[in-house]
Amino acid sequence: MNRLPASTRAQILRCLVEGNSIRATCRLTGAAKATVTKLLVDAGRACAAYQDANLRNLQCKRVQVDEIWAFVGAKAKNVASMKNPTDRAGDVWTWVGMCADSKLAISWLVGDRDAVHAHAFIHDIWERLAGRVQLTSDGWAPYLGAVSEVFGMDVDFAQLVKRYGPSANGPQTRYSPAECIGADKRPIEGKPDPKHISTSYVERQNLTMRMSMRRFTRLTNAFSKKIENHAYAVSLHFMYYNFARIHKTLRVTPAMAAGVTDKLWDVSDIVTVIEQYEAAQAAYKSASH
């Protein structure tokens, strides 16, 4: 089987994690579109497996959660008019959980914005934590049931519910969000510290995602065509964000700040993770036969 040299793989991945689209990456590296797409898939699988295994027993004290919107194939309102709609075309949400102190992205989930995914997402966060935390979410109702069912009383949980004013009219405000005119801090369970009832850090991560993954950029044609590739891109993004990108305020990577690793990674280290994952998969298939 032909395999790209590690240096070429690293070059392609650097382009992808810095916000280039698949086609732009092809132009910059000279690689074929199918080659770049396959590497994204391989990298996404390997990065998801590595982080699933290593982001465990985390000593987080404050966790913030949020959801970010994107779409696959077409926006929900346009799916009916698609020539070849897929089963999973339409709006897609990425749920993100972040440690407010280390800025480590401890969990994420790509899917719908509903109670089922809320429960799965909160349960995954709970499995990764070493002790009691203060948890803050926005006012999305499914969080109430999910946190209650998963954490019970072993959490200090609060919601930050924002209030928005009426949207301004006019073409210049067509793509502008409604103005936030206030926010209510609502303790739900335990004794959350009012000073730390916030979703600012995880909401800032939403901007990082939109800047670092071309398929998240608004008002472009760089949207995801397959939900699987969308999820792989998210896994690759968080691998780079957690392990290889120095946080401006912390001056180390989030993984270093959280004690998950003691070194600064490079994209070449991510390539090594991919190669190790591929070797393990090949060994498994060989043993199965």
Average pLDDT over residues 29-33: 96
Grouping H, G, I as helix, E, B as strand and the rest as coil, residue 259 is coil
Tokens of 272: 């090594």
For 158-201, the pLDDT digits (tens) are 999 887 777 666 655 555 667 777 788 999 999 999 999 999 99
* 1 domain residue, yes or no: no
Mean pLDDT on 231-257: 96
Query: Is 150 inside any structural domain?
Result: yes
Q: How many domains does the chain have?
A: 1
Tell me which residue of 17, 26, 34, 41 sits closest to 274, measured CA to CA: 41
3-state secondary structure 146-198: HHHHHHCCCCEEEEEEEEECCCCCCHHHCCCCCCEEEEEEEEEECCCCHHHCC
- Position 80 in a domain: yes
Tokens 């070849």 identify what position? 84
The length of the chain, given as a count of residues = 289
On whether residue 48 sits in a domain, the answer given is yes
For the chain, percent of residues with pLDDT exceeding 90: 74
Q: Judge whether residue 79 has pLDDT over 90.
A: no
Q: Is residue 106 part of a domain?
A: yes
Give the residue numbers spanning the domain of 91. 6-288
Assigned domain for 192 exists: yes
More confident of the two residues 81 and 153 = 153
Rounded Cα distance, 146 and 63, in Å: 15
pLDDT for residue 176: 63
Q: List strand residue ranges (DSSP E) for the chain, in order.
A: 62-72, 90-99, 105-111, 134-137, 156-164, 180-189
Q: Is 71 part of a structural domain of the chain?
A: yes
Q: What is the pTM of this model?
A: 0.90
* pLDDT for the residue numbered 167: 64
Which two tokens mark 220? 């472009």
